[in-house]
Amino acid sequence: MHDELSVVAFDGDEAVAEAMAGLDEAGQTRGAMFRRAGAAAGGLGVAMALLGGGGVAGAREGGSKKNDIKILNFALTLEYLEAAFYAEALARGGFSGSVLNFAQVVAGHEATHVATLKGVLGAKAVASPSFDFKGTTRKWSTFLRTSKVLEDTGVAAYQGQAPRIHQNAVLGPAGAILAVEARHAAWVRDLLYAGKSVKPAPESFSTPMSMSEVLSAVKKTGFIKS
């Protein structure tokens, strides 16, 4: 494996993108479900106050509920990938100490993100692909380097979609997940570069990635099997 993966890959045959294209508009019941799921995950009220502006029931200009479903499935696919990666790392890596603690905590977060998004989307949720992480979870060094790429890409992906979200009830929880992914990214840098002159938060600003930019890179790592 190359020391630094350039970008996370998923949906290698664009099956998820095709599935998302035909999704129908979500109803009020699903919106209420999202609010309950987000509250269970914690921090939803604060996120709504900071990010939602018009309140839980409000909507932002531009976009549509249908497109929000597409964005949520995009996010769910990322979370499937991350959750599977950390679960495999715990099963195969034999880590200890601070690396094990990191893997355990983040695995729990990513599994919660998957469960929450699936609960919100219900029957509209895309199915999880199968994954082959090509041995990156077996050594702590390759695990941390791959984790860094996954977390950085997750942050950039959520950041890229935030301005396109229509419903405040979707924007709030998405912002809450984005904040946690950013903490993961800083944490893994701290572990990966311990004792080196690399800062856990190296830049003043984070660069977003569009959905097309992320999807265009899906074939570069080969992590998706089907």
Written in H, E and C, the secondary structure of 46-104 is HHHHHHHCCCCCCECCCCCHHHHHHHHHHHHHHHHHHHHHHHHHHHHCCCCHHHHHHHH
Instruction: Write the pLDDT tens digit of every residue in 164-187.
Output: 999 988 898 899 999 999 999 999
| DSSP string computed for the chain | --SS-SS----TTSHHHHHHHTPPPP-HHHHHHHHHHHHHHS-HHHHIIIIISS-TT-B-SS--HHHHHHHHHHHHHHHHHHHHHHHHHHHH----HHHHHHHHHHHHHHHHHHHHHHHHHGGGPPPPPPB--TTTTSSHHHHHHHHHHHHHHHHHHHHHHGGG--BHHHHHHHHHHHHHHHHHHHHHHHHHTTTSS--SS--SSPPP--HHHHHTTTTSS--B--
Contact 65, 25 (CB under 8 A): yes
Q: In the predicted model, what is the mean pLDDT of residues 105-133?
A: 95
Tell me the whole-structure pTM to 2 decimals. Answer: 0.74
Percent of the chain with pLDDT over 70: 71
Output 161 or 62, whichever has higher pLDDT: 161
Instruction: Considering only residues 22 and 137, tell me which one the structure prediction assigns the higher pLDDT.
Output: 137
Q: State yes or no: pLDDT of 83 exceeds 70.
A: yes
pLDDT at 9 over 50: no
Q: What is the pLDDT of residues 191-213, one digit of tens each?
A: 999 878 777 777 888 889 998 88
| Residues above pLDDT 90, as percent of the chain | 51
Q: What's the pLDDT score for residue 35?
A: 46
Average of per-residue pLDDT across 60-67: 78
Q: Which residues lie across from 131 on neighbouring strands?
A: 224
- What pLDDT score was predicted for residue 62? 66
Closest C-alpha among 85, 131, 127, 86 to residue 224: 131
Q: Residue 42's pLDDT band (boundaries 50, 70, 90)?
A: very low
User: For 14, phi and psi rounded to 5 degrees?
Assistant: 65, 20
